[in-house]
Copies of this chain bind each other. A is one copy, B any other.
Amino acid sequence: MNLGNDTFKILIATDIHLGYLEKDAVRGNDTFVTFDEIMKHAKENEVDFILLGGDLFHDNKPSRKAMHSCLEIMRKYCMGDKPILFDIISDQAVNFGSSRFPWVNYQDENLNISTPIFSVHGNHDDPTGADGLCALDLLSCAGLVNHFGRSRSVEKLEISPILLQKGSTKIALYGIGSIPDERLYRMFVNKQVTMLRPREDEESWFNMFVIHQNRSKHGATNYIPEQFLDDFLDLVIWGHEHECKITPARNEQQLFYVTQPGSSVVTSLSPGEAVKKHIGLLRVKGRKMNLQKIPLQTVRQFLIEDVTLANHTDLFSPEQPNVMQKVQAFCQQKVEEMLEEAERDRLGNPLMPEKPLIRLRVDYSGGFEPFTTMRFSQKFVDRVANPKDILHFTRHRESKDNVKEEAIDFDMLLSRPSSEVLQLRVEDLVKEYFQTAEKNMQLSLLTEQGMGKAVQEYVDKEERDAIEELINYQLEKTQRYLQERRVEASEEKIDEEVKAETEGQSGEREKRKKMRAERKEKRKEVRDGADEAREELTGLGGRREDEVREQDCR
């Protein structure tokens, strides 16, 4: 493909998770270093713009350090005299309507932007609170990011593309910031998602779509099937999934390509994250495209291996008195080999951090026992970035039928440090709580759904007012209801009316019962979703787990 004034050069990256583990003495700077590398690639390649797929920040309320580092890196790389060679021909007030400065930053006459960033938000950095602001809005207000793909309605989505033109090449850039998967799924099914298309020369546009949702099926409706997406699209850039599958894959049904750049930092010790991290240099000319993979040099190595103890009965057997020592020595040998491999791989790359992430998954089925990992960790504390959780014991596909639908043990949880408990999905805890609570203990005025959402916002997003806002909302609603019914102010009467109201709200008791039964069925799925979190608990406490399924922690 010839380069020239008709060719867009776009750097694509996603899930940079600035601030992930920023307090960690070893890994604390990883996300900032890699973001710097990504921006440097953009500069060196003189791209027209940078396109990010969400989760620029790991925390909904980034720390001051994370925000400061981000501002610093952006100001360093996004500003300068390099001329911008493309135009925006769509209505910017629509494209960037959520910003206080609803126009693209490089056209602001007070800012000298050389490399504009366009980004949707992810689930980690999505808008929250009464003002509906997110971390990207601060960057947008500072003139450093063009935040797009934000919807105001929860009922329907009308996506107006940003229309970009460079010479004869025209790109229609669509995007949706992260939305709960179930809701977006429902909206697609109900035909409430519309992608607006430019009227003229419909066929002359290269149509790109940025999405930050589950791509792999996490539940019946807990993902977005590619088939849902319009078939006029040419390229879908899929954020949220951390595994690097950046080479565009053709969807033979819809006839578009999907590129999944993957995260630029390992946030869970699962196989998907062990795939070498890349960003993409996308060239678009006319309706043709080419995506060049750029391997990231600064990403900490991550090696993962599985061993099945039962396959090594030549070395040890469960009956031997000193089997534990032998197994430990075996595991240690394995880790040493992995460290050697990491070192060979790191040779000649001075940008790569010295200590790799190492995960050895030990299947101890067949009568073996897991061992406490403290001493083991000590051995590698100077050579491995994650000494505390190198080993992960699993028992593979065994006694699967015996797995009981145990309720979450709240007492156990509450006795643990809150930081660990927080790694469980709060939503699940609330659901579980409401399901296991005695009927007469349940709250009458606050719905499960509302409370679950509020508690989750409170914890996930550090949205301190979420619960208060919910309660005020419900209080006002109830007061209005009581006023309308002109209930006299006796406590008994009010109790009665409240009962009537809440039952009215949810329809009838029957409906509720049915819902509860449905939820029970779903519970298995929900529990799978919490496995990653539990894994942390297991790794630390050495608690046994049957059939722990690993999953990306996004």
Q: Spell out A's residues near B (CB within 8 Å).
A: 23, 61, 64-65, 67-68, 71-72, 75, 79-81, 100-101, 109-113, 129, 131, 133, 135, 137-138, 141-144, 465
Distance between A489 CB and nearest chain B CB, rounded to angstroms: 16
Are A142 and B465 in contact, CB atoms less than 8 angstroms apart? no
- Which residue of A72, A135, A465 has the most chain B CB atoms within 10 A of its CB atom? A72
Are B75 and A129 in contact, CB atoms less than 8 angstroms apart? no
Are B110 and A80 in contact, CB atoms less than 8 angstroms apart? yes
Q: Which residues of B contact A71 (CB under 8 A)?
A: 138, 141-142
Smallest CB-CB separation from A64: which chain B residue?
Answer: B133
**Given A64-B133, A110-B111, A110-B112, 14 more pairs with CB closer than 8 A:** A64-B129, A64-B131, A65-B129, A65-B133, A68-B100, A68-B137, A71-B141, A72-B100, A72-B101, A75-B141, A75-B143, A79-B111, A112-B112, A142-B144
Give complex CA distance A23, B144 in Å: 28
Give complex CA distance A141, B71 in Å: 6
Q: Which residues of B contact A112 (CB under 8 A)?
A: 109-112
Are B109 and A68 in contact, CB atoms less than 8 angstroms apart? no
Give complex CA distance A59, B131 in Å: 18
Q: Which residues of B contact A65 (CB under 8 A)?
A: 129, 131, 133
Q: A142: which of B23, B80, B131, B142 is its contact (CB, 8 Å)?
A: B142
Copies of chain A in the complex: 2
Are B137 and A79 in contact, CB atoms less than 8 angstroms apart? no
Distance between A251 CB and nearest chain B CB, rounded to angstroms: 38
Are B61 and A75 in contact, CB atoms less than 8 angstroms apart? no
A101-B75, A465-B23 known; A68+B138 contact, CB < 8 A: yes
Are A138 and B67 in contact, CB atoms less than 8 angstroms apart? yes
Q: Which residues of B contact A75 (CB under 8 A)?
A: 101, 110, 141-143
Q: Which residues of B contact A111 (CB under 8 A)?
A: 79, 110-112
Smallest CB-CB separation from A100: which chain B residue?
Answer: B72
A-B contact pairs, 11 of them (CB 8 A): A64-B129, A64-B133, A65-B129, A68-B131, A71-B141, A75-B101, A109-B112, A110-B112, A111-B111, A142-B143, A142-B144
- Which residue of A64, A79, A81, A143 has the most chain B CB atoms within 10 A of its CB atom? A64
Distance between A64 CB and nearest chain B CB, rounded to angstroms: 5
Smallest CB-CB separation from A65: which chain B residue?
Answer: B131
Give complex CA distance A465, B24 in Å: 12
Smallest CB-CB separation from A141: which chain B residue?
Answer: B71
Smallest CB-CB separation from A135: which chain B residue?
Answer: B64
What are the 10 closest A-B residue pairs judged by CB atoms, nearest first?
A79-B110, A110-B112, A142-B142, A71-B141, A72-B100, A65-B131, A64-B133, A72-B141, A71-B142, A68-B141
Give complex CA distance A112, B81 in Å: 13
Q: Which residues of B contact A72 (CB under 8 A)?
A: 100-101, 141
Smallest CB-CB separation from A71: which chain B residue?
Answer: B141
Are A64 and B64 in contact, CB atoms less than 8 angstroms apart? no
Smallest CB-CB separation from A79: which chain B residue?
Answer: B110
Distance between A76 CB and nearest chain B CB, rounded to angstroms: 8
- Which residue of A109, A129, A141, A144 has the most chain B CB atoms within 10 A of its CB atom? A141
Give complex CA distance A131, B23 in Å: 11
Distance between A464 CB and nearest chain B CB, rounded to angstroms: 9
Give complex CA distance A112, B65 in Å: 26
Are A64 and B138 in contact, CB atoms less than 8 angstroms apart? yes
Give complex CA distance A129, B142 in Å: 24
Distance between A131 CB and nearest chain B CB, rounded to angstroms: 5
Give complex CA distance A445, B444 in Å: 50
Give complex CA distance A64, B126 in Å: 13
